[in-house]
Structure 1
Amino acid sequence: LVLANPGQKVIYKFDESKLNEMIGNDNMFLSVAEAVRTCSSKAKYEI
């Protein structure tokens, strides 16, 4: 699961509910471009 471009309220709610710990902060990105870039480079190594 990857979360891209979350709003400030979403980030706050994730922190409150501890969902960010379940998802992992390394799977939360401030922009879609950053998420795609990171996931694309991970996919190269996992194939």
Structure 2
Amino acid sequence: MNLDILLVTIDAVLDALPEDIDKEHPERLKFIRDILGLVLTVRKLNTL
């Protein structure tokens, strides 16, 4: 499995989490999503 597939899979799993998880740990999930978004953006910029 390459890194791009892994990152997209993690993103999909985060999007599929139940709403109660979002309510219990909003700061943690926001931090994880922000880092994931940053990594995905850097990966896309490196391919240009």
TM-score, length-normalised on structure 2?
0.39
Pick the structure with more helix per residue: 2
With a CA cutoff of 8 Å and minimum separation of 6, indicate the structure with the bigger relative contact order: 2
The structure with the largest alpha-carbon Rg is 2
The structure with more strand, counted as a fraction of residues: 1
